[in-house]
Amino acid sequence: MTTMTEASVREFKMPDVGEGLTEAEILKWYVKPGDEVTDGQVVCEVETAKAAVELPIPYDGVVRDLHFPEGTTVAVGMSIIAVDVSGGAAPAEAPAPAAEPEPEPEKKPEGRQPVLVGYGVAASSTKRRPRKGPQVPVQEPAPVQETPAVIRTELNGHGAPVAALTERPLAKPPVRKLAKDLGVDLTTIVPSGPDGIITREDVHAAAAPEPAVVETPTPTAAPAQAPAPVPTYDTARETRIPVKGVRKATAAAMVGSAFTAPHVTEFVTVDVTRTLKLVEELKQDKEMQGLRVNPLLLIAKALLVAIKRNPDVNASWDEANQEIVQKHYVNLGIAAATPRGLIVPNIKDAHAKTLPQLAQALGELVVTAKDGKTSPAAMQGGTVTITNVGVFGVDTGTPILNPGESAILAVGAIKLQPWVHKGKVKPRQVTTLALSFDHRLVDGELGSKVLADVAAILEQPKRLITWA
**pLDDT, tens only, 372-387:** 888 888 888 999 999 9
Nearest CA among 256, 339, 321 for reference residue 47: 339
Strand pairing of 384-388 and 407-411?
Answer: parallel
When pLDDT is cut at 50, 70 and 90, the band that residue 118 belongs to is: very low
Helix (H), strand (E) at residue 178 = helix 173-182
Q: Tell me how far apart the alpha carbons of residues 468 and 463 are, in angstroms, rounded to a whole number.
A: 7
Whether the predicted pLDDT of 166 surpasses 70? no
In a domain, 103, yes or no: no
Q: Are residues 16 and 116 in the same domain?
A: yes
More confident residue, 108 or 450: 450
Residue 271 C-alpha from the chain's centroid: 38
Using the 8-state DSSP alphabet, how is residue 78 labeled? -
Which DSSP string do the residues of 186-219 spell out, in sequence order?
GGG----SGGGEEPHHHHHHHHSPPPPP---PPP
- What is the rounded average pLDDT for all residues in the chain? 79
Q: Is the dihedral of CA 168, 170, 174, 176 positive or negative?
A: negative
Q: Are residues 272 and 376 in the same domain?
A: yes
CATH number at 8 reads 2.40.50.100
Nearest CA among 310, 273, 313, 314 for reference residue 295: 273
Task: Give the tens place of pLDDT for each residue, 354-368.
Answer: 999 999 999 999 999
Least confident of 244-253, 333-342, 412-421: 244-253
Least confident of 79-83, 87-91, 99-103, 158-162: 158-162
Q: Are residues 183 and 163 in the same domain?
A: no
In a domain, 257, yes or no: yes
Predicted pLDDT at 264: 92
Q: Are residues 259 and 121 in the same domain?
A: no
Predicted pLDDT at 1: 42
Whether the predicted pLDDT of 158 surpasses 80? no
Q: Pick from 158, 186, 207: which residue ends a domain?
A: 207
In a domain, 70, yes or no: yes
More confident residue, 258 or 37: 37
Predicted pLDDT at 218: 54
Whether the predicted pLDDT of 241 surpasses 90? no
Least confident of 11-25, 46-60, 330-344, 381-395: 11-25
For the chain, the straight-line distance linking the first and the last C-alpha, in angstroms and rounded, comes to 74
Q: Are residues 43 and 192 in the same domain?
A: no
Predicted pLDDT at 377: 85
Q: What is the dihedral of CA 64, 101, 125, 12, to 10 degrees?
A: -10
Predicted pLDDT at 221: 54
Which DSSP string do the residues of 242-303 spell out, in sequence order?
---HHHHHHHHHHHHHHTTS-EEEEEEEEE-HHHHHHHHHHHT-GGGTTS--SHHHHHHHHH
Q: Are residues 270 and 182 in the same domain?
A: no
Task: Report the number of distinct structural domains present in the chain.
Answer: 3
Q: Are residues 262 and 404 in the same domain?
A: yes
Q: Are residues 271 and 196 in the same domain?
A: no
Q: Are residues 194 and 163 in the same domain?
A: no
Predicted pLDDT at 344: 92
Predicted pLDDT at 222: 54
pLDDT mean over 294-312: 97
Q: What angle do CA 71, 75, 78 make, to 5 degrees?
A: 100
Beta carbons within 10 angstroms of residue 168's beta carbon: 12
**Dmax of the chain from CA atoms?**
102
18: left (phi over 0), alpha (psi -120 to 50) or beta: left
What letters, b where the CB count within 10 A reaches 16 and e where it falls short, cover 247-281? Answer: bebbeebeeebeeebebbbbebebbbbebbebbee
Q: Are residues 444 and 362 in the same domain?
A: yes
Q: What is the dihedral of CA 157, 158, 160, 163, to 10 degrees?
A: -20
In a domain, 55, yes or no: yes
Predicted pLDDT at 182: 79
CATH number at 302 reads 3.30.559.10
> For the chain, what percent of residues have pLDDT higher than 70?
72
pLDDT mean over 120-149: 42
Residue 231 one-letter amino acid? P
**Cα-flanking dihedrals φ and ψ of residue 180, to 5°?**
-65, -45
Whether the predicted pLDDT of 95 surpasses 60? no
Q: Are residues 282 and 388 in the same domain?
A: yes
Contact 234, 37 (CB under 8 A): no
More confident residue, 140 or 55: 55
When pLDDT is cut at 50, 70 and 90, the band that residue 227 belongs to is: low
Q: Are residues 20 and 68 in the same domain?
A: yes
Residue 142 one-letter amino acid? A
Helix (H, G, I), strand (E, B) or coil at 332: strand
Residue range(s) defining the domain that contains residue 79: 4-94+109-128+146-168
When pLDDT is cut at 50, 70 and 90, the band that residue 435 belongs to is: very high
When pLDDT is cut at 50, 70 and 90, the band that residue 458 belongs to is: very high
pLDDT mean over 6-35: 82
Q: What angle do CA 361, 365, 370 make, to 5 degrees?
A: 155
Contact 351, 256 (CB under 8 A): no
More confident residue, 449 or 59: 449
Predicted pLDDT at 105: 47
In a domain, 402, yes or no: yes
Helix (H, G, I), strand (E, B) or coil at 447: helix
More confident residue, 251 or 99: 251
Predicted pLDDT at 228: 64
Is 328 an annotated catalytic residue?
no
Predicted pLDDT at 217: 52
